[in-house]
Amino acid sequence: MRDVSLWGSLLGVEKTVIERIEYDEDADLIVAHVRPTSRQRSRCGACGRRCPGYDLGAGRRTWRALDLGTVRAVLEAHAPRVMCREHGVVVAAVPWARHDAGHTYAFDETVAWLATQSSKSTVTVLMRIAWRTVGSIITRVWVDVDAQHDRLAGLRRIGIDEISYKRGFKFLMVVVDHDTRRLVWAAPGRTNATVRQFFDLLGADRCAQITHVSADGADFIDTIVAQACPNAVRVADPFHVVKWATEALDEVRRGAWNDARALARTEPKRGRGRPRADAPPRPGSERAVALKGARYSLWKNPENLSENQQIKLAWIAATDPRLHRAYLLKEGLRVIFAMPYHDAVQALEKWIGWARRCRVPAFVKLQKSIVRHRGQDPRRDQTQPVQRLDRIDQHQDPADHPDSVRIQVTPSPHRPRPTQPRRPPTNPPRAQMTHGYVRRAASPPRIQGSLT
Ligand SMILES: [Zn+2]
């Protein structure tokens, strides 16, 4: 292989004449003196059109190339200016680097790829550049990539969400494609205008092709989606639904913790040091401490629990059935999203029924919110209410059946009251039960695609 073509390959340049190579031992730097081939000369840097020359510009300049082993390498060439019909006086294009860039194509592409694959410090240390430079390289590589593809083409099922940065002070609105599992759009801000910006960019035709939109349940996103994509099914995404459940569970845990602390305040204080053998027990204060530490046992997925956390969970199951019930509700909801679609639909129906009767206010509220978000299918208005076949024999008029007859709770030694509280017959059914049954009877049971 001739030296010139070897050097061309090493430096990753094409359509370039390599005039000579210098090695600066003191600076540990290889300088390749180059020029564009005659066909590439005198072209506008902005549009690539051939133009008459204007002047020699600011003389010779350098472009950073990929390191050769441990030695840094630069290309050095004249940077003359040309007179473009459209762009006026501009620096002439070079075949080894983007217009206005201080790095070669090969360098830019390597940095952009590394930025997607490794940490910030890896990129900056390995490539010996500043993080700001990485930002400008990504920007110009992305402009080229973006020009080749239409990221918004063929979108069917999308997700809209926001992420925060700068310690929660700034926000980015992001849109993902659920089918390709890729980010398709992002913009700073989390207002109506930000979301609208995306749908404006998408245009009416492509909006009409969208079938499903998942979001975090925020009303403002919902409103805009309903306007922009009137045919799309709007759903709450599983991540947020499970997050709501975790928050509801934490509310129950805090309630139990506060009860324990209230009890602890009535207990006699203890001085310093080891308590005497005959010291009175302080169950409230012990319970408060244990519940405070139970947070992660309740939050984590059961398969990830440590041995101590499993013990803590078993302790909660034995001593606080209500908190444990809240935990089971949270776990039940989480598991639904891992199920096959048709099983999940039925499981969610059952879960909603369970949560409605669970007598834990945080979960009754959560259930209502899930029912509300489940129902936002625009086609629903055109669909006749359908009674599910498997429920026909179960259909009961709520007015005839107060909720107390429906609750099936296994008798528990920790339950001080009878499991089926007796009430005078004039007692009306509890509000949320009536509400729930009426709602379910009037709307077809349905949960939407983000479960699949
Ligand atoms: Zn031009």
Least confident stretch, 122-126, 128-132, 220-224, 372-376:
372-376
Instruction: For residue 102, report the distance from its CA to the centre of ligand 1, in Å.
Output: 20
Interatomic CA distance for residues 341 and 349, integer angstroms: 13
Q: What is the pLDDT of residue 218?
A: 81
What are the Cα distances from residue 429, in Å, to 48, 108, 145, 392, 396? 78, 69, 62, 22, 14
Instruction: For residue 210, report the distance from its CA to the centre of ligand 1, in Å.
Output: 39
Span 58-106, pLDDT tens digits: 889 999 999 999 999 999 999 999 999 999 999 999 999 999 999 999 9
Least confident stretch, 110-114, 303-307, 315-319, 401-405:
401-405
Instruction: For residue 93, report the distance from its CA to the centre of ligand 1, in Å.
Output: 10
Instruction: For residue 91, report the distance from its CA to the centre of ligand 1, in Å.
Output: 10
Cα of first residue to Cα of last residue in the chain, in angstroms, is 56
Span 366-400, pLDDT tens digits: 999 888 877 565 555 433 333 333 333 333 333 33
Instruction: For residue 182, report the distance from its CA to the centre of ligand 1, in Å.
Output: 35
Span 143-171, pLDDT tens digits: 998 888 888 888 999 999 988 888 888 99
- Bridge partners (DSSP) of residue 83 are 89
pLDDT band at 442; cut points 50, 70, 90: very low
How many other C-beta atoms can be found within 10 angstroms of the C-beta atom of residue 51?
22
Average pLDDT of the segment spanning 257-285: 80
Instruction: For residue 86, report the distance from its CA to the centre of ligand 1, in Å.
Output: 5
Q: What is the pLDDT of residue 379?
A: 54
Residue whose C-alpha is closest to residue 162's, from 197, 195, 116, 206: 195
- Bridge partners (DSSP) of residue 91 are 81
Q: What is the pLDDT of residue 173?
A: 92
Least confident stretch, 105-119, 167-181, 235-249, 263-277:
263-277
What mean pLDDT value characterizes the chain?
81
Residue whose C-alpha is closest to residue 358's, from 409, 301, 291: 409
How many other C-beta atoms can be found within 10 angstroms of the C-beta atom of residue 435?
15
Strand residues in 190-265 grouped as ranges (E):
212-215, 233-236
Cα 107 to chain centroid distance, Å, stands at 31
Interatomic CA distance for residues 148 and 319, integer angstroms: 62
Q: Is residue 444's pLDDT more than 50? A: no
Interatomic CA distance for residues 150 and 295, integer angstroms: 46
Instruction: For residue 201, report the distance from its CA to the centre of ligand 1, in Å.
Output: 27
User: Which residue intervals of 42-155 are DSSP H helices?
Assistant: 105-117, 120-127, 131-148
Q: What is the pLDDT of residue 125?
A: 95
Q: Is residue 207's pLDDT more than 60? A: yes
Instruction: For residue 234, report the distance from its CA to the centre of ligand 1, in Å.
Output: 46
Interatomic CA distance for residues 310 and 64, integer angstroms: 57
Residue 371 tokens read as 């029912």
Instruction: For residue 92, report the distance from its CA to the centre of ligand 1, in Å.
Output: 9
Instruction: For residue 90, report the distance from its CA to the centre of ligand 1, in Å.
Output: 8
- Bridge partners (DSSP) of residue 174 are 161, 186
Instruction: For residue 46, report the distance from its CA to the centre of ligand 1, in Å.
Output: 5
Residue 376 tokens read as 């936002």
H/E segment holding residue 21: strand 16-24
Residue 402 backbone class (left: φ over 0; alpha: ψ -120 to 50; beta: rest):
beta
- Bridge partners (DSSP) of residue 161 are 174
With 0-12 CB in 10 A as exposed, 13-18 as middle and 19+ as buried, what is 227?
exposed
Q: Is residue 27's pLDDT more than 70? A: yes
Instruction: For residue 51, report the distance from its CA to the centre of ligand 1, in Å.
Output: 8
The larger pLDDT score, comparing residue 73 to residue 447, is at 73
Interatomic CA distance for residues 408 and 270, integer angstroms: 43
Q: Is residue 112's pLDDT more than 50? A: yes
Instruction: For residue 53, report the distance from its CA to the centre of ligand 1, in Å.
Output: 12
Residue 303 tokens read as 């398969």
Instruction: For residue 80, report the distance from its CA to the centre of ligand 1, in Å.
Output: 14
Q: Is residue 431's pLDDT more than 60? A: no
Instruction: For residue 98, report the distance from its CA to the centre of ligand 1, in Å.
Output: 14
Residue whose C-alpha is closest to residue 331's, from 311, 313, 343: 313
| Domains of the chain, start order | 3-147 (no CATH), 157-236 (3.30.420.10), 239-265+283-400 (no CATH)
Interatomic CA distance for residues 21 and 8, integer angstroms: 11
Instruction: For residue 50, report the distance from its CA to the centre of ligand 1, in Å.
Output: 8
Instruction: For residue 81, report the distance from its CA to the centre of ligand 1, in Å.
Output: 11
Instruction: For residue 382, report the distance from its CA to the centre of ligand 1, in Å.
Output: 56
Average pLDDT of the segment spanning 231-241: 86
Average pLDDT of the segment spanning 284-301: 82
Instruction: For residue 84, report the distance from its CA to the centre of ligand 1, in Å.
Output: 5
CA dihedral sign, ordered 36, 41, 45, 47: negative
Instruction: For residue 375, report the distance from its CA to the centre of ligand 1, in Å.
Output: 55
Q: What is the pLDDT of residue 428?
A: 42
pTM above 0.85, yes or no: no
